[in-house]
Structures are given as C-alpha cells and as structure tokens.
Structure 1
Amino acid sequence: MSLYKYFENLNFVNCFHLIIFIFLFYVFQFYYKYFTRPNKLPGPFPLPIIECAYCFRGDIKQLFISLNKKYGDIYEIQLGGLRRIVLSRPEYFEKFFNNSIKHAKFMPTAPYSQGVKELRKSGKGLLSNDDFKSWKFARQLFSRAILSPSFNNETIKWTKLLFEELEGYWKSLGSINSDGKEWSLETDFSKWAHRFTNDMIVAVITGERSYSMGSYYNTLSPIKASYPDALIEGADRFVRGINKIVAGVTIFTFLSPFIRHYVPFIRGKTNEILKHRDFIFDKLDQIIKKRRQEIEVMQNKDLKNDMLTSLIIANTERDITYKMTIGEEIFPPMPEIEIRANIFSTFLAGTDTTANLFSFVTYYVCYYPEVKQKMLAEIDSIFPPNNSFQLTHNDLSKLKYCEAIIKEANRICPVSNLLGRYPTEPIEVGGYQWPAGTMFHFDLVSLHRHKDYWPNPETFDPDRFFLDNKNESFLDVKDDDLIKDKNNQKEDRKVEQKYSFIMFGGGYRICPGRKLAMTELLSLMVYIFGKYDIELIDMEAPLKTKSSIITYCQRLMVKIKPRNQ
C-alpha cells in the first residue's frame, strides 16, 4: 500500500526522472551483457531496443551478403532478443547435420519464440516443433504418406491434370500470329508458377481442388473460368494469404513483441498477416472436418491417397496395418489441432519455395541458350516429341541434367536464405566453445557462392552437378526410422564437399518433402519445356527478386509459344 501511495504522489517531473532511470538501467544492463559475452565475434554494433535491426533495409538476402563481405564466415548479430552466430563455411555444419548424435541435441531450429507461437496460434507442426518425440511421430506420419508409391503416382497425376488446365488458360490468352497457325503469349511467368504450385499442393495434400490458376486467369481475360465465384475468390485469398505469411515470417522471427505490435508501420503488417492466418486456419478446419465425415461414411471403401487422410486415420482402427511407436510408447491418433498445424506447415514450406525455384530455373534456362539446348535434348531423348506419353517416376529419375539445372539454380539463387539450429548441449564451432542454447544461423547464400569451394561462383553452370558422379538424386531418398539423410551420410566425401551445397537442409530437419518437390519440378520441366518455347522478353533485365526468410521471384516476363519440334 505504501508503494501505491508513493506512485500516487509522484508529479510529472518525478515520473519523467523515474522513466529516465529505468531506461538508463536497461541500457546499462543491455551493454553489460553485450561487453561481457563469451567468444566476442565481429558483427554490427547493437543498439538498445532495436538491436541490429537498423542494418535491415527490407531484403534479408542482401543484408547477410553485405554482413558476410564485411565480417567474414563467422560473425554475430543481435536480433529479436538473441545473439545469433552466423556461419557460412561447410566445415562448421558437420556436427549440426549429424544424425547419430544421441538425443538429437542439434535438432531444435530455434529457442522458444513468442513470435512463432503467435503466428502458428496453436499446434506445433513439423516446422516449429522442437519436442523430439512429438516431432518424430509427426515426421514419420508425414514421411509414410509422402514417400509412398501411391502418393508419388498421385503427384504425377495431378501435375498432368493441372498442367492441362494451365495450357487451356495460356491458349485462351494467347494472340494468333499473322500466319494464323501459331499463338503466343507474353505474361508474368512467376504469377502462374505460384498459382500452379498452390493448386498442386492443395490437391496432393488434402485431396481437394483449389482454383487459384482460374482466379488469376479471370484477372487477365474478359472470358471467365467456368468455376463458381466463391471458389475463385476463396482460392485467390488463400494464395495471397500464404504469400503474405511467408513474406512476413521475418517479422515474427526476428522482431520483438513490442516492435511487432506498437511500431506503427510494422504493427499494420503484423495485423494483416494474422488476419490472413485466421482465414487459412478456418479454411483448413473446414477441409479437415469434411474429410473426417467422408472417412466415417466410407467404412469399407478405399480411402484417398492424400496426406490429410493419412494423418486423420493414423493409429486408429482404420489404420490396421500400422501402429506408430517411439521406443515402447504407442502414440494416440493425432489431435485435430496438430493435423491442421502440419498441413499449414506443409503449405508454407511447399508452395512458395517450389514456385520460386521453378521461376529461377526458367530464368536461367532462358538466359543460357546452350543450357536450354542440352536440357531439351535430354527431355526429347526420354519423352519423344509429338508422341503421347505417361510420366512415370522411373522416367523422371533419368533426367540427370534437368536435376542438375534445378540444383545449380538453387545454388546460385537459393530459395531458403537461412537455416537455424539451437543446440541443447555445449558445442565447439569455429574454434570456440559455445554454451547450450546458442542460436546459430547458416548463411546459404554466402555458402553457395564461397570462392574456396565453388570455381567461378557467379557463373551458372549445371555441369557442376551433372558431372559429379557422387551426387545422388533426390528422387531416390527414403526416410527410415532415424530420418537419415542419405546424401549427408557418405563417408567417402570430404566435409567441405558434403556441406558446400545445402538445398533441402540436413540432419534430422532435412526437408521431408524434397522428393515431392523434385517430382513436381521435373514433371513441369518435361511438360512446359517439352511442349513450349519459353523466351525472356528482355534478355538484359536482371532476375527480379526480394528476400525475407526465402527469396521469391517478383516478376518474370516471358513469351510463350508452341515449340517447333
């Protein structure tokens, strides 16, 4: 009560002095912690409250490129209340990606984050789940569904059906040439890529149709797609929501709650992202509820082969061939909130990443005609022109040069800019001993262009991967109970060779959807480049990108016309 009376009797001057005292105490504590930190590394000097956010100019990729040039392959930066150690040399990564470490002490990607918890609302999902048993259970369910032959066949089937729909839109929008025999279309390829991958991921993950390609077509054509307006509008909002969330993850990862919710410009972006999140969650809840009802009705019938069905029936009476265990513990069926979280994580990780990477592939293939000719020769040798064919997984696995193009495009312009690990035990990295709970980031942009490991790193050259006989196909991956990364388990390769290229992460947290992504990318290369001639409208224009946690293609203007075979 006496303390209450003290504050009640404070006048304006006293309140002002108290605020100044509290602020000075905070500044003193902030810099005392900074100057007494262990293993002092070079890096930008932090300021109170905003820390090193003043270095950020709107593009994460350019930020870390500039910091790498200034401070080298190991430095530190203060963001979001954390000291972050940034690494960009392959030998620094080996311990983090080693699956044999007991108890997966290098499995967590980040400490507890109020921002990430706020964004996901409830439920953990694969992306942000650091409880090892819970994560491993979800990961095994995910892998069982996504790596099954039936799922692969569904992926190829949906790629064909959706591409045929895409063809129809292109032909409708195209203008007939003067000879009246051919049509051509000038369009923003990146917009179509994003719509295609959204419709694709919705179909293969949930078994439901999305109509985002039709939505985009309606914005370009006076003749509208023959789908109900509600479906078109819902699909368009869904795509915009996913794009906004992916672009805004940086806000929830690197900025404090105070900045997110009280700085005017950022507060507006935060609220916009949360509104998109709520819409997507409501939509997913509707899809899950509908699928549960379908499963209950189809008692003695074959169920769909999508991931949503697998997650719903896992460890239930309908899942009579499989009981998921971790050690001796049998897990119960997955709660609905976790099903939604895992589907949401899949959308975030699998929609924009695939669309942007295929946009980058298209740009570099069109920019380098010798690469394009070599690619077409390989496609034509396996899928003869002017002949009908049925894509199979076996045929796609023969496209070695096409896969080399995909890898080189991701090397020179990685879709994911940063990976994170938050070890739960002490670790030695870069000649320093680090305590448990140190936040590490892997700068993939600088890693993939490191002059010590990549000759002529700025040159686009798929032969780096095509001529490497030790470089195995991502189409051959098979996750076992330990979630081993086949590409990172080869003992006959030097550390710097193994980790100088990281496309899908590594270790326990390697992307479980990498096979799906490669299947979709290779299928698109066969369908699009096998049937159509794609040219850049302006060969002098640079690839237009912007980066947050991922780098996304903002605009890619191309001319599309049927290929003269």
Structure 2
Amino acid sequence: MSLHKYFENLSFVDYFHLVVLFILFYVIKFYYKYFTRPNKLPGPLPIPIIECAYCFRGDFKQLFVSLNKKYGDIYEIQLGGYRRIVLSRPEYIEKFFNNSTKHAKFMPRAPYSRGMKELLMGAKGLATSDDFKSWKFNRQFVTRAILSPSFNNEAIKWTKLLFEELEGYWKSLGSANSDDKKWTLETDFSKWIHRFTNDMIVISTTGERSYSIRSYYNTLSPIKTSYPDALIEDSDRFVKGINQVVAGIAFFAFLGPFVRHYIPFFRGKAKEILNHRDFLYERLDKIIKKRRQEIEVMPNKDLKNDMLTSLIIVNTERDVNYKKDVGEEIFPPMTDIEIRANILDAFLAGTDTTANLFCYITYYLCHYPEVKQKMLAEINSIFLQNSSFQLVHSDLSKLKYCEAIIKEVERMIPVVNLLGRYPTEPIEVGGYQWLANTMFQFDLVSLHRHKDYWPNPEIFDPNRFFLDNNKSESYLNVKNDDLKDDHNEKDDQNIGQKYSFVMFGGGYRICPGRKLAMIELLSLMVYVFGKYNVELIDMKAPLKTRSSTITSCQELMVKIKPRNQ
C-alpha cells in the first residue's frame, strides 16, 4: 500500500494519535538534547517551541538583571533557537575583549542569520559582518576617516551650528507666552536630543543636511520654518526609516523565513520594515552617486571632511594616504555597497546611543545638584559664562570631571544592555571548555554594578572615574592606530578589575565612533548646562525607559530657561 493510500484510510482519531506521537517525539528529543548538553549551567528550564521566552516580561534589561540575581555571573538561557551563555564577571569576558594583538581573536557578534542578511543585504560593513577579511578592510578605512583631526574639528563645528539652531527653537517656543528675555520652556527633552543626534550623525557622515530638529519644532509651533515641506517630510521619513530598521533587527534575527514571508501579521510587518530599508538605501545611493560626481570635478583642497567623502576616495589617487599605512597589502577602492553599509552602520549606532546617554546624564545631574555645581565650576573655569563658547578639541580634553560624569552615568544605566560574541574556535571560559560556535552574551548592567568590583555600586559617584584621571587616558584622545592595541583605556584597569567597565565594548570590535560620541556628549554638556538651567518638572517621576538590546529614554520632561535670567 502506498503512503498516499495509507493516509486516505486513516480516521480522525488516527490523525489525532499521529499528532500526539509527533509532539511527544519532539518533546522527548528536545529535553534529551537539553539534559545531555555539555557544561550544564544553571538557568531557567526551557519549554519546547517557546524556549525561555516565558521569562520575558517586556523588558530585556530587567530579564537579565533578575536572572543574574538568581543564577549568578555565569548561566545559560535558550532564546531564538540558541543556547546562550550569559556572562557578567570581568575575568569571564577578558578573552573576548583581550586587546593584545598576539592573543586577540576576531569573533562575529552573532551566528549567521538569514534574516539579518535579508534585512541588511549582506552586511558588508562593520556591525554584523562575520567575514574577517571584509571586516578588516572596512574597519581600517572607517577608523581612519572618523578619527582624523579634520573629521573631529568638523564634528565640533557642526555640534555648535546645530545647537544654535536648537536653542533658537527653544527660545521661539518659550517666548510665545512671555518676554523674550525671561522665557521658560517646558518640553520633552528626549525628543529634542534624539533629533539633534540624528541631524549630527547625518551631517558628519554624509555631509548632507537633515532637518529632523526643524521637523519636530514644526509639530510644536504654529509658526512654521521657512524650509519646503517636502524637505522636512523627507527628513521625517529618514528618521522613521532608521528607527524602523533598528527595531526590525530583532524581528529579522529571531523569526524564521517561513514566519516572515507567509504568516499574515508577520509578513505585513516584515514588508513594512523592508520598505523602510529600501527607502534608506535609495536615499544613500543617491547621496553616494551625487558625491562621486562632485568629487570628480572638485580639487583636493575643497574636498569635504565627512566620512562619506573619505570612503569614496580611499585607495584612489585622491587619497592622501594612497598606498600608505597598509604594508604590503594593497586594498582596492570601496564599492558603493560597502560605503552604503558603513554609512548605515554609523546611522544605526550613532543616533540612539548618544541621545539616550545624554538624557540619562541630564536626569542624574538634576538629581545630584552637588555634582552639577562641580561640573559647572569646571565648565566656567575653561569657558567664560555667557560667552560664545568657541569649543576646540584641546578645551574639550580638559573637561575631566565632565568625562567622569559621562562614564559614571554609563556605569549606572548602560545604554547598551547586551553584547554578543560567537567564537568560531574552541574557547575556555569560566573554567569550562566550550566548543566553537557557542553563543555568549555579556550582561553589561550586572557587570557595571558588580559588588565585587564596585564599592557601593548603587550610588552615583563620578569621583570613581575622576580621582584617577591623572593616570588614565581619555576616550577623547583615542588615536587612529588601525587594528593595534586601540583599547588602551588605562582607567579600565585602575577601577576594579580590568573590563569591569566596558563603555564602548572592547577588543577588535570596540566601537570605532567612540571619539565622535565623546565630542558630542562633552560639547552638549558645555552648551546645554553652560548656557541654560535645566530642571526636571517632576523630581519624583521615575525615569521612563524601554529596554531591548539598548535602553531607550521614552520621555524626559524638563523646564529650560537661560542661566542669565
């Protein structure tokens, strides 16, 4: 009897029994694999199909903090089809972040994902690349572009220009119902700062203006700005596109292709995210094409100092470093796909992280007036109050206490909650030998508050980072040294155990944009708090955040008024 005939003769009860047997076989196989796994670690018991998702209550940060309290500094959890080894002790993550070129290993951040390849179309840039040769090629020239003095000076200039635009909108809204000289504005600070960092990352990476600050102003003011509506709407769509792609990363990483392509609700969501991706790519392709045409007829002395221009001319005759600093290995020019991927990486990594951290800095300064006064004293000692605040890199590097505040806020509430590594070779971690292709997650929230390495970890105290500043190297002084030992932050070693504080990650995959982030944060501290009194409207209100892989500030209601009032 053929298989087809056999199934035709089955009754409903027979089908029911077959389904039950299939489910039973699946459950037995699932738990056999689980209970016979090597290196059994504590952790929540997974359930077939949903794994440990039943532990999730809507906040990833709280999930891992609660699991750390229950299971300790090394445990396991099954999510997204992978057994994940979660680490929150410095010595456990040292081998992943080892900055010695002799011992360092290149490790992908996550296993190969068809969904991520679909979303990012091959991931030719830095963030999700799992090919070392391609990643090394891109990182070498991205790092050279964004750590150059001309790029940093341009970033300082644009920070000033964008802030002048921002404070003009504040004054316009605050003066609507009061005297121009004694205005006060009550507003959601987080909305302004997110748009500021978006405009900043767009102009610094592409040299093209974005108008998301202006767009937000238009939603609040009856008097609209004079720019064309199409230009403002295009900026709005650009910001929305970036946000949707960021949100879609988890969607494409954890859901399989069948669910994304055929299940109605998920199919619609996937299509929406891909539409935003296509819009971003179309915009970036036009920008790249336009810049290539400009460069062809532009003398070298007139070339822009943005990241896009640097990547277009790399390894061409227009590149002042052509065939230099690369040893015997000669790289070809970058393709448009590689350039687009690197620019998109900068957008995704450089907007939300910086904006959220500055919101948390503002929140803590409002709650700790003694820290705020010490910060203002440092700012006033370098910049005359009510002056034009002509910032230069050398002055920013003097703001040691301001930098200590940034680091302590990041320690208290890390913007990035989890980092991942997926070693392609066997590795020893926590006294266990692990096979290649084991997924590791680093719980930065628990790491930064580990009681064995941080005295009184729940207390906000910038002096942790300030008192030893004479011995430490600032993140602001990072130099372009390619793949050499560029994570040479000695303060990581002076405070507790090495790697007890990993603000920008570590090892090969340390954040290449950390210097730009510090320039933005320090400049904003000078401009905002040097020129304005910023107070929380409700000091008792909890900080409104939402956490996934990063912790985002959802709202920060403040009262702003000029300091000279």
TM-score by length of 2: 0.94
Tell me the distance in 2 between the aligned counterparts of 1:487 and 1:162. 32
**1:136 Cα deviation after fit:** 1.0
- The equivalent residue for 2:479 is 478
Question: SS state of the match for residue 96, structure 1?
Answer: helix
Q: Following TM superposition, by how much is the alpha carbon of 1:221 offset from its aligned partner in structure 2, in angstroms?
A: 0.5
Q: Is the 8 A contact 1:104 1:132 kept in 2?
A: no
Question: How many Å apart are 1:110 and its aligned residue?
Answer: 1.3
Q: Structure 1 residues 300 and 90 mapped into 2: Cα distance closer, same or farther (>3 Å)? A: closer
Q: How many residues align?
A: 564
Q: Which residue of 1 aligns with 2:34?
A: 34
Instruction: Give yes or no for contact 1:418–1:442 (8 Å, CA) kept in 2.
Output: yes
Q: Distance in 1 between matches of 2:453 and 2:49?
A: 38
Deviation at 1:124, TM superposition (A): 2.2
2:402 is the alignment partner of 1:402: yes
Aligned residue for 1:511?
511
CA drift of 1:264 comes to 6.3
CA distance in structure 1 between the aligned counterparts of 2:2 and 2:311, rounded to whole angstroms: 58
Give the secondary-structure state (helix, strand or coil) at the position aligned to 1:138: helix
Deviation at 1:404, TM superposition (A): 0.7
Residue 125 (structure 1) shift: 1.1
Residue in 1 aligned with 2:540?
540
Q: CA deviation at 1:471?
A: 3.4
The one-character-per-residue Cα deviations of 1:438-474 (angstroms, maximum 9, x if unpaired) are 1111100011111111122122111111112343210
Distance 1:373 1:489 in 2: 27
Task: State the match for 2:48 in structure 1.
Answer: 48
Query: How far does residue 497 in structure 1 lie from its aligned partner after superposition?
Result: 2.4
The aligned residue for residue 243 of structure 2 is: 243
Residue 226 of structure 2 is aligned to residue 219 of structure 1: no
Shift of 1:104: 4.8
1:286-365 matches, cutoff 5 A? 286-298=286-298, 302-323=302-323, 328-365=328-365
| Residues in 2 aligned to 1:172 and 1:178: alpha-carbon distance in whole angstroms | 10
User: Which stretches in structure 2 are left out of the alignment for 5+ residues?
Assistant: none
Distance 1:432 1:300, change over 3 A: closer
Change (3 A) 1:488 1:96: farther
- Map of 1:166 onto structure 2: 166
Alignment of 1:527 onto 2:517 = no
Structure 2 residue aligned with 1:430: 430
Q: What's the RMSD between the two structures over aligned residues?
A: 2.5
| Structure 2 partner of 1:446 | 446
Q: In 2 relative to 1, CA 331–457 (structure 1 residues): closer, same or farther, beyond 3 Å? A: same
* 267-276 vs 210-219, which moves further: 267-276
Deviation at 1:299, TM superposition (A): 5.3
Shift of 1:30: 2.0
* Residue 488 of structure 2: aligned partner: 487
**How far apart, CA to CA, are the structure 2 residues paired with 1:139 and 1:525?**
30
Alpha-carbon distance in structure 2 between the residues aligned to 1:117 and 1:385: 51
Please give the alpha-carbon distance, in whole angstroms, between the structure 1 residues aligned to 2:234 and 2:190.
20
Deviation at 1:215, TM superposition (A): 0.6
Residues in 2 aligned to 1:2 and 1:165: alpha-carbon distance in whole angstroms = 77
Alignment of 1:114-129 (within 5 A): 114-129=114-129
CA distance in 1, matches of 2:178, 2:225: 27
Q: Note closer, same or farther for the CA distance 1:131–1:326 as it changes in structure 2 (3 Å cut).
A: farther
Kept in 2, the 8 Å contact 1:312–1:339? The answer is yes
Q: 1:266 to 1:181 in 2, by over 3 A?
A: same
Alpha-carbon distance change, 97 to 300 in structure 1, aligned in 2, over 3 angstroms: closer
CA contact under 8 A between 1:80 and 1:256: conserved in structure 2? Answer: no
Shift of 1:177: 7.4
Is 1:462–2:465 an aligned residue pair?
Answer: no
> What CA distance in whole angstroms lies between the structure 2 residues aligned with 1:499 and 1:300?
42
- 1:46 Cα offset (Å): 1.1
Shift in CA distance, 261/548, structure 1 to aligned 2, threshold 3 Å: farther
Deviations 1:280-334 (A, max 9, x none): 1221111111111211232565311111111111112322532378664322111
SS of equivalent to 1:385: coil
Instruction: Name 1:553's counterpart in structure 2.
Output: 553
Letter in 2 for 1:87: L
Aligned to 1:76: 76
Distance 1:78 1:256, change over 3 A: farther
- Cα 1:167–1:341 change in 2 (3 A) is same
Matches of 2:2 and 2:318 in 1, distance apart? Answer: 66
Q: Deviations over 1:203-243 (max 9, x none)?
A: 00000000000110010011111111111111112212222
Contact 2:185-2:561 at 8 Å conserved across structures: yes
1:102-147 CA distances to partner (integer Å, 9 max, x unpaired)? Answer: 5853522111112321221234210001211111111111111101
Match of 2:145 in 1: 145
How far is the alpha carbon of 1:542 from its aligned partner? 1.2
Tell me what 1:209 maps to.
209
Deviation of the 1:18 alpha carbon = 4.7
1:278 aligned to 2:278?
Answer: yes
- Between the aligned partners of 1:158 and 1:182, the Cα distance in structure 2 is 28
How is 1:407-422 mapped onto 2 (pairs within 5 angstroms)?
407-422=407-422
Alignment CA distance shift 1:399-1:495 (3 Å): closer
CA distance in 2, matches of 1:132, 1:179: 60
Is contact 1:61–1:547 with CA below 8 Å preserved after alignment? Answer: yes
1:179 positional shift: 6.8
Gaps of 5+ in 1: none
Q: Is 2:473–2:490's contact at 8 Å kept on the other side of the alignment?
A: no
Relative to 1, partners in 2 of residues 1:106 and 1:431: Cα closer, same or farther, differing over 3 Å? Answer: farther
1:59 and 2:59 aligned: yes
Once the 2 structures are TM-superposed, how far is the Cα of residue 259 of structure 1 from its aligned partner? 5.3
Residue in 1 aligned with 2:135? 135
Please give the per-residue CA displacement for 1:87-107, whole angstroms capped at 9, x wherever unaligned: 001111111111336585352
Cα distance, 1:310–1:103 mapped onto 2, change above 3 Å = farther
Instruction: Pick which of 379-388 and 512-521 moved more.
Output: 379-388
- C-alpha separation between the residues in 1 aligned to 2:522 and 2:17? 66
SS in 1 for 2:522: helix
Q: Is the 8 A contact 2:147 2:515 kept in 1?
A: yes
Contact in 2 for aligned 1:249/1:548 (Cα 8 Å): no
Amino acid aligned to 1:471: S
Q: Which amino acid aligns with 2:485?
A: K
Read off the aligned partner of 1:363 and give its amino acid letter.
Y
Letter in 1 for 2:358: F
Change (3 A) 1:320 1:146: closer
Contact 2:57–2:63 (Cα < 8 Å) also in 1: yes
> Deviation digits for residues 475-501 of structure 1, max 9, x if unmatched?
1111323242333578x9479522111
C-alpha distance 103-20 of structure 1, shift in aligned 2 (>3 A): farther
Match of 1:183 in 2: 183
Q: Which amino acid aligns with 1:357?
A: L
2-side partners of 1:541 and 1:297: how far apart? 56
SS in 2 for 1:549: coil
